[in-house]
Structure formats: C-alpha cells, structure tokens
Amino acid sequence: MRPTGPTDTDTSETDTAAGALAGKVAVVTGAGRGIGRCVALYLAKEGARVVVNDPGVSPDGTGQDQAPADQVVAEIAAAGGEAVASHDSVVSMEGGSRIVGAALDAWGRIDILVNNAGILRDRMFIKMNEADWDAVIAVHLKGAFACTKAAAPHMHRQRCGRIINASSSSGLVGNAAQANYGAAKSAIAGFTRVLARDLGRYGITCNAIAPMAATRLTVGMADMATKYGLVIPEPEYIAPLIAYLASEAAWNVNGQVFYVFGGSVSLAQPPVARRTIFKRDGWTVDELIEAVPTQLTQFTDNPGPPAEHLRPAFARPPATDATPAGEEAE
C-alpha cells in the first residue's frame, strides 16, 4: 500500500490499487508533445482525470494546431482513462481561467496543476529583441502565474492541492543565448518557493522540477550531445517524479526544486551564502579590491571570461616574442 498523508479524502485499498492519483483531477499545460504529453499519459495511468492543454504552437510560439492535444486525449481514452482537451494559451489571465475551467466543467474540481507550457527564442543577448523577451516570459512565467491564480482558490477551498512548475538548469545555473528563458525559469523557482510558503498551510504544496529530456526544444542540445557520444534521455523519465509530487504521499514535500535527468533525481539546494567577510565599520572600495579576490571569489570561475586583450593590463599575461608589447593577440 502506498503511503498517504493527512489530506487524503479516501484511503481505501480499492483507490490505492487503482493508482496513486485515483479520483484526482489534473491540469497539464503544454501537454500535446514532449514532457507534457508523457506527464499527461502517466497521470492518467495513475488514475487521474486529465485536462490536456496545448494550443499546438511551434517551438518559437507561433502558429496553432489543435491536433496534438486531441491526440493525447485519444491516447488516454484508448487506455481506459478520462481526459478532455484544452486549446487555450496560458499567456493571459483569461486563458488560465478557461484552462482551469475545463477541469471544473468536466469534473467539478482541480487537484493537480502542472505548469509545463514553454517555448524557446534563443538569441545571444546582443541580438535578442523585445518580442523575443516578451514572448518567452509570457508563456513560461506569466503562464504559470495565470494558471496558478485560477487554480489556487479552488485548491484553497478544498484544503488540498498540488502545483508542480517546470524550471530549468538554464535559470538555476545559466546557459548561453537564453537570457529570456533563463530569467523566466529562475523566476519560476522563486515563484515556487514563495507559493510554498503562502499556500502550504492550506494543504497545498508547490514544487518545481528542472528536467533534461529529448524534446522539440532540446534538438540542438541533443545534436551536440550526440557529437560527443552522449545521449539525452527520453521525456518518459520525467513523468514519475511529477506523479509522485502530485500524490498524497508527497504531502510534506513543499517548496523544493528537483533536477531530473534520465534515472537520476537530485534535490537542488537553494542559493545560500557560500563565504562571508565581515568588517564592523563597513568596507571601503580599496579594502574590497584586496579582500574580494582573496577571500570570497578565489575558488570561483568566470563563466564568460573576456579575451586577453580586453582584460585590464594588470590581468594580462606578459608579452612574448610572438606578441610584442603594445600589440594585442586576437
């Protein structure tokens, strides 16, 4: 028998045998393809009734196609589960309300929200424009807010709910050419931790995952991995952790971020102070010039160091015969 928590509404052996999520109602955004599709199918397999939300856009957020969401609904139905399609976009409050409303109209409640919808518009920052920034922030961050804002009052009344957000190592660690995506994903991690504090007292948990899987959005990364003899795992590996976090068994797991890569699941550590220097009467800039490199940052790496000729003179290597003094090496 699976472990249960204090918010269980039915702890019978029959429901447990039917699946970890028997009787629950879930909304999964971005569920027409990739990770979202696998999550929707897995939650249904575990007994949840699922709203499969996906407007069917291209990886950059353009276009629209109802077929992906409809196909996933058909797959769930063919396997004996219950699902309805939602083709609304998450980028507006009205869209978020309609997406959650699809669950309420079909089954009268919402127990699980998986904020998974996402697009990419990768550019090096110098070339990134406002439209690239706004579109990615709107889907990832505004979308998570819009759907959560619509779902939270119902979970609050039920005194039970599970919210799982999709973050990314691009936001938690950083990745080149993804200022928009990384900013959104970092913000989602913060959003998750704050929601955990705001909603936890009402029996609502909020956690996040930072997954890595082979999807439409990671094609470039997969090609690079293949070049070096590596393989990015399929998205099916992500779904079981989300199902666990959505279950009653995870009633006391709240405000956490998990990395998921194939069979590896890791608990992320929130940013904390690594080293500290203290001077009772405060610091001068001259003192910090001396103290910071020797006491704070001496074991850190610069993720994007400048070319040698752009460094301060005191930080450049001495000139050699190949690079005469006064000339710059490219």
Shared-domain flag, residues 210 and 283 = no
Q: Which two tokens stand for residue 285?
A: 């800039």
pTM of the model: 0.88
For residue 259, the SS3 value is: strand
Residue 217 lies in a domain: yes
For residues 169 and 308, state if they share a domain: no
Range of the domain at 299: 276-330
Judge if 178 and 198 occupy the same domain. yes
78-101 pLDDT, tens digit each: 999 999 999 999 999 999 999 999
Secondary structure (DSSP) of 40-100: HHHHHHTT-EEEEE-----TTS----SHHHHHHHHHHHHTT--EEEE---TTSHHHHHHHH
Distance CA 163, CA 205 (A): 6
- Asked if 322 and 202 sit in the same domain, the reply is no
In this prediction, residue 92 carries a pLDDT of: 98
Question: DSSP assignment of 201-242, as one string?
Answer: GGTEEEEEEEEE--SGGGHHHHHHHHHTT--PPPGGGTHHHH
Q: 189 and 324: one domain?
A: no
Question: Is residue 7, in this structure, part of any structural domain at all?
Answer: no
pLDDT band for position 6 (50/70/90)?
A: very low
Domain for residue 1, yes or no? no
pLDDT for the residue 192 = 98
Distances (CA, A) of 271 to 151, 174, 244, 265, 312: 28, 14, 25, 19, 30
Candidate list 181, 237, 244, 259, residue with the active-site label: 181
Which of residues 267, 284, 300 is at a domain's end? 267
- Residue 293, Cβ density class (10 Å: 0-12 exposed, 13-18 middle, ≥19 buried): exposed
Single-letter amino acid code for the residue at 220: G
For 215-244, the pLDDT digits (tens) are 767 666 656 656 666 777 889 999 999 999
Same domain (yes/no): 188, 301: no
* Residue 181 annotated as catalytic: yes
Q: What is the pLDDT of residue 18?
A: 78
39-90 pLDDT tens trace: 999 999 999 999 999 999 999 999 999 999 999 999 999 999 999 999 999 9
